[in-house]
Amino acid sequence: MSDSATLSVTMLGAGQEVGRSCCVLQYRGKTVVCDAGVHPAYSGMASLPFIDDLDWSTVDCILITHFHLDHAAALTYITEKTNFKEGKGKVYMTHPTKAVHKFMMQDFARMSSSTSDALFSPLDMEMSIVSIVPVSVHQLINVCPGISFTPYHAGHVLGACMFLIDIAGLKILYTGDYSREEDRHLVKAELPPIRPDVLIVESTYGVHSLEARDEKEGRFTSLVHSIIRRGGHVLLPAFALGRAQELLLILDEYWKKHPELHNVPIYYASNLAKKCMAVYQTYIHTMNSNIRTRFAKRDNPFVFKHISNVPQTRGWEKKIAEGPPCVVLASPGFMQVGPSRELFELWAPDARNGLIITGYSIEGTLARDIMTEPEEFTGLKGNTIPRKISVDTISFSAHVDYAQNSEFIQSVKAQHVVLVHGEQTNMGRLRAAMTSKYKERDEDVKIHTPRNLETLRLSFRGERVAKAIGTLAEKPPQPNDVLSGLLVAKDYSYTLLDPRDLRDFTGLSTCIVTQRQRIVIGVGWDLVRWHLEGMYGKVEEGLDKDGVLTMRVMGVLDVKQTQEHELTIEWESSASNDMIADSTLALITGIDKSPASVKLTSTPHRHSHSEDHHHVHPHADPVGDASSVTRIQRLAMFLEAHFGEVQFHMPDEDEGEQDDEEEEEGGGSGGGRTDKEESLLVELDEAVATINLRSLTVTSSHESLRKRVEAVLDMALTTVSSLSESFTSGIPVAPAEGVESGGDAGSKEKSSSTDADAEVGLPDSKSNSNETDNGNTSSRIEEVVGPVGNEEGEKKQQKQTEKGKEDGAVVGSDAAVVAMDTTEELPPKEGDSEPAPAPSLTMDDQTGKTDSEGAAPLDATMSDGTAEAETRPQQQPKRRSSDSDGGTDSDDGTELEVHD
């Protein structure tokens, strides 16, 4: 079967019928079969499930719920007569079930061997028994990758269980026959602690409710006593194991309380039951507390004082029939053949005798037909026998009635309920009743009643649960917390863990793939930088560890001038980095064909370039003294497009000085009031919203306007920011003296905060720095606004610059977004030793090579190949990004040309 997210449920038996239970579950290429029984009303091949409709070599496992013939008798035929052994499937049942199943199948093989339609030989049966894997209740069994199950107590008979099956994460509860009522020796069925997706449940009694246990026990013993008083014989047809033990416990206790019955024998007509009684005594620990308590007091409840086995002599049936009144429990319960059928034919003509049917009777059997009390019936020899014996029905069947079944179904809370093991009428009535109940409770639960060979297909949403382990599980997550880590999938289970825990929990290791691409170009280095600035807004320029001139794009990709007219692109492979590499490669290979390149280099000239004459791309990030004004103008233009006129508010110098003094008195943690800082004012009707240009927070007395401005501001920040401002990672390139860094022309002087290892850059969407708190847009960062072109603004800016040098923030012309890294040392304070000078770098005009002193090298590896990838064990260096640029324009007189 294809690996689909659809569960297929096919009934090979027990679909709208009782008997030959066999349910096939198929999901994501896995196949599980639950039960394999025969139909008691038929014989030979006709009694088997529809086994020809399944390729048994594809079955991963067969689960048998209990030892009754209608659930387990076809197992030997399937394992020995089909291609089941050609596959890797296994058979599972509980320890008590396997012990009793062996005796049941021996008796079944012995009785069927005398007929011409025997399904298998005793040797086949022995071979099948050997292949069965016994399991314990509550034991988690992993069958194969993707399939596991756990048995739970089901009541019904000794060893009976229901299976909670997990197939590729889909949970299915298959109940088999179960009882929710604790009787004299068995526990009641359990409610599994895990909610399944699908419940496959029996519907034997439909909407019929059984009488209470005390009432039916009293009615049963009174009826037996009355038949004996009138001088008759009592016939109790029952299966050798299961309800027979329950009836024997009831009768033995009643006989103890009534001495007048001590001379009335109770016979148990089953050699099989005699053999299996040792099994019952062995598995006392699986029974209820009443039996375990008696056994602990050396009172074995299965050693009966008033019950004996029938004589082993030939013709014992006639001797008992002609003798004094007695009670006989005889198998089988359906009276098709065997001792129960022979005794019934002998006792039927006598009105003093009585027949009490104590269990569920399948349609088509004599027990079911005789419940209608016909005047006569046909014997095994074909003769007509009159019926005068009294017929009564008192159900001790260990099946759930409507009250118990409906309560269990609702408690399980499965999304889909599949009804099986019930006649069509009973099943339909139960479906209608449960549908009505769910409708009243406004619950969307689907109830299905598939027929035999009718495949039911159930689709489920692809929801999966990942378990967080290791470091991620040390601290319990709180609502709205975001967990990030590696998602490891194995056998349809998912685990979320920290990359550092990968080796400890999975045995796996990680590596970094470094990719390189060599490009031959016919344009100059400055023209390449000009195009990169236009695309990404800003690039860092410097040297790698080998002294090769390098530009770093968006902090993750290096463009190196390895030779004249040859560039090497190098990056660490990842989904996002590969996209950046693709775009960079496409940009560089198209430079010589770009009309902008032709226009820029069409007029050759040879004179010295000063920093004021550097060709700045119109789309590059604004730099220099006017950068802050440009940023504010772009932001204001975006806001004006949405709200109309936007006013810029600059506080007076006296107000700013007073505000700074208040901040210093408060320990620098204040931040001042909104009206004391540079801001933009948005007016709409009579409502006003103020945008603080330092914190990028919005304040307004009008809540709706505040939320609207926050939303537009969020879009504006994304729109006016370049790619490099929105993507921050990597280690900055070592700056080179005489080499323009990052395109920040005219920025010869860097604030001391740059040496404080502050992380510089606009909010990084990759690192989730753009968070919202209480409706405030953008991140918890501070944007320092540059000069605004008036005297007051210049004084204000100068004061901010001096204060920024003390606090370690990048201020002034950089107009950058700053997030301090508190884990690194701050710059030396006044009176301390001076910080180490920035690395120096010189360029050789002839060779284009550079020499650096004290430059921090990049962790890069050179390659001579055109395109190659390198892997190395993954390291996790501490990364920081920097917007500060410490270089100046090259003054070597190099001219820009287009080379064919």
Per the rule left: phi > 0, alpha: psi between -120 and 50, beta: everything else, 447 is beta
Task: Please give the pLDDT value at position 754.
Answer: 32
Contact 139, 164 (CB under 8 A): no
- Band of pLDDT at residue 836, cut at 50, 70 and 90: very low
Alpha-carbon gap, residue 203 to 422, rounded angstroms: 5
Alpha-carbon gap, residue 337 to 342, rounded angstroms: 7
DSSP string, 513-543: EEEEEEEE-SB-HHHHHHHHHHHHS-EEEEE
In percent, the amount of the chain with pLDDT more than 90 equals 35
pLDDT in tens, 411-438: 999 999 999 999 999 999 999 999 999 9
Alpha-carbon gap, residue 65 to 813, rounded angstroms: 79
| Helix then strand then coil, % of the chain, to nearest 5 | 35, 20, 45
Residue 395 scores a pLDDT above 80: yes
Contact 770, 874 (CB under 8 A): no
Task: Please give the pLDDT value at position 740.
Answer: 42
DSSP string, 281-314: HHTGGGS-HHHHHHHHTT--TTS-SSEEEPP-ST
Alpha-carbon gap, residue 629 to 785, rounded angstroms: 8
Q: 399 catalytic, yes or no?
A: yes
pLDDT in tens, 574-584: 888 999 999 99
Q: Three-state SS for 836?
A: coil
Contact 98, 140 (CB under 8 A): no
Strands 90-94 and 61-63: parallel
Alpha-carbon gap, residue 273 to 247, rounded angstroms: 13
Q: Three-state SS for 248?
A: helix
Alpha-carbon gap, residue 197 to 165, rounded angstroms: 10
For residue 13, count other CB atoms closer than 10 A to its CB: 28
In one-letter notation, the amino acid at residue 173 is L
Task: Please give the pLDDT value at position 670.
Answer: 42
Task: Please give the pLDDT value at position 653.
Answer: 60
Alpha-carbon gap, residue 112 to 116, rounded angstroms: 8
Give the residue, 26 or 717, on which the prediction is more confident.
26
| Arithmetic mean of pLDDT, 237-249 | 79
Cα dihedral 136, 137, 138, 143 in deg (nearest 10): 50
Residue 46: phi, psi to the nearest 5?
-65, -20
Task: Please give the pLDDT value at position 7.
Answer: 95
Helix axes 525-536, 575-589, angle to 10 degrees: 130
For residue 703, count other CB atoms closer than 10 A to its CB: 10
pLDDT in tens, 770-824: 333 333 333 322 333 333 334 444 444 444 444 444 443 333 333 333 232 333 3
- Band of pLDDT at residue 462, cut at 50, 70 and 90: low
Most confident of 86-100, 366-380, 679-693: 86-100
Token pair of 868 as six digits: 């190659």
Cβ neighbours of residue 756 under 8 Å, at least 6 residues apart?
808, 820, 824, 825, 826, 827
Alpha-carbon gap, residue 367 to 357, rounded angstroms: 7
What is the enclosing helix (H) or strand (E) of 437?
Answer: helix 424-440
Alpha-carbon gap, residue 761 to 819, rounded angstroms: 8
- Band of pLDDT at residue 73, cut at 50, 70 and 90: very high
Spatial CA neighbour of 327 closest among 261, 241, 259, 393: 261
- Band of pLDDT at residue 272, cut at 50, 70 and 90: confident
Residue 665 scores a pLDDT above 80: no
Task: Please give the pLDDT value at position 451.
Answer: 96
For residue 479, count other CB atoms closer than 10 A to its CB: 4
| Arithmetic mean of pLDDT, 240-255 | 83
Read off the pTM.
Answer: 0.58
Alpha-carbon gap, residue 39 to 587, rounded angstroms: 76
- Band of pLDDT at residue 625, cut at 50, 70 and 90: low
- Any idea what the Cα angle at residue 391 is, between residues 386 and 395, rounded to 5°? 150
Alpha-carbon gap, residue 751 to 825, rounded angstroms: 16
Give the residue, 368 or 730, on which the prediction is more confident.
368
Residue 67 scores a pLDDT above 60: yes
Residue 557 scores a pLDDT above 50: yes
- Any idea what the Cα angle at residue 577 is, between residues 573 and 579, rounded to 5°? 115
In one-letter notation, the amino acid at residue 817 is V
Task: Please give the pLDDT value at position 623.
Answer: 65
- Band of pLDDT at residue 380, cut at 50, 70 and 90: confident
- Band of pLDDT at residue 849, cut at 50, 70 and 90: very low
Alpha-carbon gap, residue 728 to 537, rounded angstroms: 13
Strands 147-153 and 161-167: antiparallel
Task: Please give the pLDDT value at position 675.
Answer: 56
Token pair of 439 as six digits: 């409708």
Cis peptide before 622 (omega within 30 of 0): no
- Band of pLDDT at residue 605, cut at 50, 70 and 90: low
For residue 864, count other CB atoms closer than 10 A to its CB: 9
Q: Of residues 68, 153, 233, 399, which has the active-site annotation?
A: 399
Max CA separation in the chain (angstroms): 136
Strands 687-692 and 698-700: antiparallel
Contact 636, 646 (CB under 8 A): yes
